[in-house]
A and B are shown apart, each in its own frame.
Chain A
């Protein structure tokens, strides 16, 4: 071996250099790595495949109805299986109306809870209350329906409807006989069901608001509430709206509790005391009764419409939430 001078080696003294090494990107070109990647990719491809299959099936099964009724399906009120005439307007109306009613009640509850938990509640209060509110999301829809039938509706009949009629009976919304199963019952149960989702996302949004916002307001002499209401909440406004829209997305697709409480009647009416119908409830109720192909096809079309509406609403919600609470757990967990 030659002597070893410790110093930068003179290029000329070094053995003839090999041609300049070319690109050596990335590791793991051996077979096991390729197999691993292929296996994972295959599994992952199942999701897009499933969605594609879902869309294909919905459209092909709805095709007879789509072709027969065209766009008028969306605004026709007649639903007559015997005569073979199907119009989804009452269901669409009921879906929107019940969701709107649900949000009317749920948004103050959920946002109030979120604001309370993030801005005002001391730690020992926050944790149990947060847990209990989250637990609302764990209750199965059918259990909500059960409770609605035997507890909520009698309660409404006895303690809520009479005062409402007395005070607001002159408006079109509170007219007529309370049938128990009604838009009111359906809307209220939906409200309870979506509160935890809106609250969870709203909490994350509020937590993502930099503390400096609140502190700046307090520093200028605002009261605690004013700091929250004028500095924190507006900052997270987009995300909070997103949370509400997320709640809407959930309300639109709820099935069991709604079909057990809303009355399942193809009717458009403005009184919340009347029975109504939603798209999801209609499918649940009538799918096994569909005797003719056209009937079934009409229900698939209802499913398609429902699918499209919820996808759009959820996409909008995610866009708004992502803007504020960038890719945090809010997006994935809330869904």
Chain B
């Protein structure tokens, strides 16, 4: 629970995301306090993944993608013209729906992949960072004896935790998770949910999920999107037990979506 005067890690101000002329995220203003987990829920096609990709300027890499509005990271607008999106993305970690380990790299090199673009370090420094990241991702014990073997030898759940470690290694300000357990089995899903609880001590997390129970288990705050609009946002406990908007309640009780 964030104290009344919590710092904001991220804030979107009237963020609208479009593909050519079609707006898929409409006029969303949201606050993300530091060291919290915010879940973004909603039915398929409601714009939640697109919203997430606006936060690290990945949306503009899609064909015809552009935004209006502002996204403030530590108070500074990331869409300012003097901001290099490449540098920005180094400060934000992202994990995708399907695990995407780099197939030609070892486990160690996968985790270290984000470090090379973040400045030179000595080999021992890199090894230390890799270990820290793997521990944070609760994967260290399982791979510490085979750091230099192929990343593809890991199971799906392990690969996803590897991707989380890879995202954590550069010590980002923010961690964006786009349906990270969608392709995992229940055991793998549970590991990652536990991970979120631990990670929020050090990181601010935004997690997109279509799994309502997951949102309820994992997050402090929840934002409900529908067809590109932000319908309701609030503390997860309150939103799930006493939603203020009728549509939210309809979604939560499974009447659609």
- CB pair B230 A14 closer than 8 Å: no
CA A3 to CA B33, docked complex, whole Å = 11
Q: B29 — which chain A residues lie within 8 A by C-beta?
A: 8-9, 11, 14
A17, chain B: closest CB distance, angstroms: 6
- CB pair A6 B234 closer than 8 Å: yes
Q: B5 — which chain A residues lie within 8 A by C-beta?
A: 1-4
DSSP class of B's interface residues: helix, strand, loop or mixed? strand
Q: B8 — which chain A residues lie within 8 A by C-beta?
A: 1, 4
CA A14 to CA B8, docked complex, whole Å = 14
- CB pair B33 A21 closer than 8 Å: no
Size category of the B interface is 20 to 34
Q: Does A70 contact B (CB under 8 A)?
A: no
Q: A27 — which chain B residues lie within 8 A by C-beta?
A: 57, 60-61, 85-86
Would you list which residues of chain B between 140 and 187 have a CB under 8 Å from chain A? none
Nearest B residue (CB) for A23: B66
- CB pair B233 A24 closer than 8 Å: no
Q: Does A28 contact B (CB under 8 A)?
A: yes
- CB pair A14 B13 closer than 8 Å: yes
DSSP class of A's interface residues: helix, strand, loop or mixed? loop
Q: B14 — which chain A residues lie within 8 A by C-beta?
A: 11, 14, 17
Q: Does B2 contact A (CB under 8 A)?
A: yes
Q: Does B243 contact A (CB under 8 A)?
A: no
CA A27 to CA B31, docked complex, whole Å = 26
Given A4-B6, A7-B234, A27-B60, CB of A21 within 8 Å of CB of B79: yes
- CB pair A7 B233 closer than 8 Å: yes
Q: B114 — which chain A residues lie within 8 A by C-beta?
A: none
Beyond the given A1-B5, A4-B8, A17-B13, please list 9 additional residue pairs across the A-B interface where CB-CB is below 8 A.
A3-B4, A6-B233, A7-B233, A7-B234, A9-B29, A9-B31, A21-B69, A24-B60, A27-B61
A-side interface residues toward B, CB under 8 Å? 1-4, 6-9, 11, 14-15, 17-18, 20-28, 30
